[in-house]
Amino acid sequence: MPLLSEYRALLDQLAEADAPPLTEMPIEAARAMFRVAQPTRPDIAVGTVINREIEGRNGSIPIRVYTPSGPGPFPVAMMFHGGGWVIGDLETVDAQSRQVCNQVGCVVVAVDYRLAPEHRFPAAAEDCYDATEWTYENASEVNADPTRLAVAGDSAGGNLAAVVAQMARDKDGPPIVFQLLVYPVTNGHVFETDSYRENAEGYMLTANSMHWFWDHYADAADRSNPYASPICSLELSNLPPALIQVAEFDPLRDEGLQYAEALVAAGGEARSHCYEGFIHGFFSHFDSVPPTRIAMDDACAALQEAFNR
């Protein structure tokens, strides 16, 4: 299927702007650019939005708790933002957190994990796991039902959701009921897939930028650790059911599909869907690029199904 016409127009506009590539920007400039590209959406009203800090093994972790209207307790989804572990924060994940909160009818806990290169692997993974453990142990504080706990994220956030699910299994931690992995990063070793070759340039996320993200996040020796590259785990059984969503025009397409296949081969329950005509980032485009709304609808339906089993 050809690229969506809305995406073609967007990419043409970006090309005309002739901005420097992400890989040539200072880190703080890249972070500022991402905030502009992923604005907050206070117009998507939810019951309450509360910022707070919790304690993790490495100090305080900022979180933002989105709660739907109603008495609760509600199911709860941990939301880990994208941005290659280098850019992104609570502001850039605001729109999708609000939408999931409303559409699923669940508490969403967005996590402001520490970023690379100031804090390299495993800082982000540890913060996300600690926030998940805190939410499970303190569910009553956020009006949540700890028996209905899911992990979710897009791109690097999808990586972290998959990693937290593995950590929870390995550490006999919170009983996670579902993983929503949206165009997740799963492999820091292999950059020669068909999707990397076909979509190396021209579709927002580039092959060069993925190398840049990985170089900032993890040393080469660390990338075989399954808590960095979840597909490298030698044991992929006994993990929560998963939905893995990928885009046709995305370097990460194949590694997401491969992770779904690996989960199934290990005896797990995993579904994958490749959205034709889409590019990386579609999960936050549910309003700005209307055809992508189907992916948000699919994700929310999958969460609702998991919470109501």
Query: What amino acid positions are annotated as catalytic residues?
Result: 155, 250, 280
Residue 192, sorted as left (phi over 0), alpha (psi -120 to 50) or beta, turns out to be alpha
Cis ω for the linkage preceding 117 (within 30 of 0)? yes
Give kind and range of the element (H or E) at residue 258. Answer: helix 253-265
Cis ω for the linkage preceding 73 (within 30 of 0)? yes
Q: How far is 161 from 78, CA to CA, in rounded Å?
A: 8
The answer to whether the CB of 6 falls within 8 A of the CB of 291 is yes
What Rg value do the Cα atoms of the chain yield, rounded?
A: 18
- Give every CB contact of residue 59 below 8 A, 6+ residues apart in sequence: none
Q: What is the DSSP letter of 21?
A: P
Q: How far is 69 from 67, CA to CA, in rounded Å?
A: 7
Q: Which residue has the tokens 């779904």?
A: 260
Torsion angle, alpha carbons of 166, 169, 172, 173, to 10: 60
Q: How far is 102 from 75, CA to CA, in rounded Å?
A: 12
The answer to whether the CB of 248 falls within 8 A of the CB of 276 is yes
The answer to whether the CB of 305 falls within 8 A of the CB of 278 is no
Q: How far is 234 from 262, CA to CA, in rounded Å?
A: 10
Q: Which residue has the tokens 């929503």?
A: 180
Q: What are the two backbone dihedrals, phi and then psi, of residue 262, each rounded to the nearest 5 degrees?
A: -65, -40
